[in-house]
Structure 1
Amino acid sequence: MSAPERGMWRMPAETEVQERTWMAWPVQWYPPGSDPDEARAVWAAVANAILKHGGQPVTILVTEEEKGQAKKWVPDATLMVVRHDDGWARDTGPTFVVDDRQRLGAVDWVFNAWGAQPWTRWAWDARVATAIANQAAAEIIPSELVAEGGGIHTDGQGTFLVTETVMLDPYRNLGWTRERVEEAFARVYGECKLIWLSRGLTADYSPYGTRGHIDLVATFAAPGQVLVHSQENPDHPDHEVSNRAVELLSQATDIQGKPLTVTRVPAPKKLTEAGEWLDWSYINHVVCNEAVIACNFDDENDNRANVILRDAYGRDVFPVHARPLFERGGGAHCITQQQPRLP
């Protein structure tokens, strides 16, 4: 078997300078019977926090039908009319990359709604990455890998965090192996290293979950520095999940062979709601040029987590009330996608 084709692109870390944030206005109202204004309000809270504190503009994809609503809720955002199915821009949008010739690229992963989830539709969402890339004047880089931005974190130097239950999901990439996934990354990024966690948080395998996105579990605050969701209560099944993640990452090295420094970020104290385990996570935050937009939950661990994020990034932290987001299957990171600024 011949060696895989090697790419030339680099995915910048989220801490690097950003040109703008991309979002998509929600158009599917779930859970069934939920209030559309509750969804609009929390999407708007994230967008407005970025515009006020983040130091960068926000462009929001809107349908023609929802354009007026988006303008009312987020008057300072740039609106771009694009037909789409959902509001999770991290996953439907492209993954932006750069090269050493100061070109902007956009990786267009195959999108099939988190493994063909039965509750959603995605015919238009599968075209969103192309629409954003064209608007950003980015070179489109196709990939055969079914993946989403929420399933990938990087240090900006070629080290990536992923989970097996996403990348090797038979409803996404049937029959794929770790080696084949790594080859797909190498075709875009050239020399790179994937650190594989076995799975995501427990509730992320519920009907509105993603089957294990990494952006609820762990992220890079800087090269060599990893923040990890830490469920401190042994009654919650994520206690074991997060301990295993900490153990694996504490023994891992980056692409340069250097060990990682792991910082635990406590999970909220609240464990269940309506008899179901919660996957509320402070890891699912948005790093902007001048601030971190954090998910808070009216929980006694909110302030504790905010201080950890502030110290890790050296940026002010501005929280948004994220319960309505998590009720719909994700957090603030899930509804945003950063575009790096070229030198």
Structure 2
Amino acid sequence: MTRLPAEWEAQSAILLTWPNPDGDFAASPDAFDQVCRCFEQLTLSIARYQPVRISVGSDSEHTRLKSWLAAQSLAHAVTLYRLPSNDVWARDHSPIGVYRDGQTQLLKFGFDGWGGKYPADKDNALAPQLAAQGAFGNTPLVPVDLVLEGGAIDSDGQGTLLATRSSVLDPRRNPARSVQDIEQCLLEAFGLQRILWLDHGALQGDDTDGHIDTLARFVSADSIVYQAAGDADDVNREELERMADELRALRTLDGRPYRLIALPWAGVHRNEDGDDLPASYANFLILNGAVLMPTYGSPADAVALDALRGALPEHDIVGVDCQALIRQYGSLHCVTMNLPA
């Protein structure tokens, strides 16, 4: 028997992939420095609750990070692995943990840079290299012949998967696989009873073709937190309103409507070229006893934090400034991956 746990279940660690000085955030020294400060704040916040395992591709950053961890007295809670990477989006290139016949396994799906949009060879090789260096202990790494990103799926821990068709069923990711074939692979790999598909919600500026972790997330077996639409300035308004209608039509396994908890719109965020950035409060991370929520320097930050306090009252709710991250079209959940206990 196989089961894909929910994110609020017990975890053993969080994986991060540290920014590279010559990577996507290196367009300016300020951008790289700011994203490193964001990662440092993330590391500090996560390490209060559970261990952190970080892949670092740069010699200079590895040396600097070792010194910084020692100064923060975090060496006991954070383990570094000197491994090359293309980018920082650990949610999508990391393995996905399941429980199979009472044992933990890590499923290694293929990662191709979101349908070939970006180079991904080093990222795709990270999980086997981490396993070889002991990052996963005795937990086996099991290859699965399917391209799938961790940010594309969300689990209630009881056999229901929430996902968007636009991302998971994108023909560029698995061109030789039929929709029925992909669905069957997911059902078997994760031990699912069903998949709840959404057809709307993809945010402008989102390179992932509509990852669910920017849109709607389970916070219990009968509750979903979702990114609500904003005012007339929100270019995503129509898509998010249609997604909310889809969510209202969904039913739990026992036939009841889900309790839906709306997160406010984060406001207009654009880069220097005027392109819209996908700032979403749904891109939060659940830890052992805490939730880290991205903030964007918006008045809505406080409203979103309060909404998550109501949704997950037994957790500490901690805001982390992610304005640097959305410059490259991702946010907090996108750069982290939880390993189950």
The TM-score, its normalising length taken from structure 1, stands at 0.89
Per-residue Cα deviation, 1:180-208 (whole angstroms, up to 9, x for no partner): 22101122123421111124433244xxx
CA distance in 2, matches of 1:154, 1:334: 16
Q: Which residue does 2:93 correspond to in 1?
A: 92
Aligned mates of 2:130, 2:108 — CA distance in 1: 10
Name the residue aligned to 1:289: 288
The answer on 1:252 being equivalent to 2:245 is no
* d(CA) in 1 for partners of 2:2, 2:212: 22
1:69 and 2:67 matched? no
Q: 1:250 to 1:132 in 2, by over 3 A?
A: farther
- Quote the offset at 1:273 in angstroms: 5.0
Structure-2 separation of matches of 1:236 and 1:270: 7
Q: In 1, are the aligned partners of 2:166 and 2:199 still within 8 Å (CA)?
A: yes
Aligned to 1:44, which of 22, 40, 46?
Answer: 40
CA deviation after TM superposition for structure 1 residue 270, in Å? 3.0
Cα distance change, pair 107–260 in 1 and its aligned pair in 2 (3 A) = same
Instruction: Count residues with an aligned counterpart.
Output: 326
1:214 aligns with 2:217: no
2:166 corresponds to 1:174: no
Counterpart position of 1:267? 265
Of 271-280 and 32-41, deviating more is 271-280
1:34 aligns with 2:32: no
Output the CA distance in 2 between the equivalents of 1:45 and 1:154: 27
The residue type equivalent to 1:128 in the other structure is L
Per the alignment, residue 318 of structure 2 pairs with 318
SS at match of 1:124: helix
Moved more, 287-296 or 261-270: 261-270
Which residue of the partner structure matches residue 50 of structure 2?
A: 56
Structure 2 unaligned segments of length 5 or more: list them.
none
Shift of 1:319: 0.8
Cα drift, residue 107 of structure 1: 1.1
Q: Do 1:287 and 1:293's aligned partners in 2 also have CA atoms closer than 8 Å?
A: yes
Aligned residue in 1 for 2:224? 226
Aligned match of 2:112? 112
Q: Secondary structure at the match of 2:3?
A: coil
Question: Is the contact made by 1:50 and 1:288 (CA closer than 8 Å) also made in structure 2?
Answer: yes
Report the Cα distance in structure 2 between the residues aligned to 1:9 and 1:210, rounded to whole angstroms. Answer: 27
Partner Cα separation in structure 2 for residue 241 and residue 336 of structure 1: 26
Deviates more, 1:59-68 or 1:271-280: 271-280
CA deviation map 1:209-230 (0-9, x unaligned): 2221111101011111001101
Aligned-partner Cα distance in 1 for 2:242–2:131: 37
**CA–CA separation in structure 2 for the residues paired with 1:235 and 1:281:** 15
Q: Contact 1:236 / 1:271 at 8 angstroms: preserved in 2?
A: no
**Helix, strand or coil for the counterpart of 1:12?**
coil
Percent identity reads 29
Q: Aligned with 1:302: secondary structure?
A: helix
Whether 1:13 aligns to 2:6 is: yes
After superposition, the Cα gap between the structure-2 partners of 1:261 and 1:133, relative to the gap in structure 1 and judged at 3 Å, is farther
221-230 vs 242-251, which moves further: 242-251
TM-score where L is the length of structure 2:
0.89
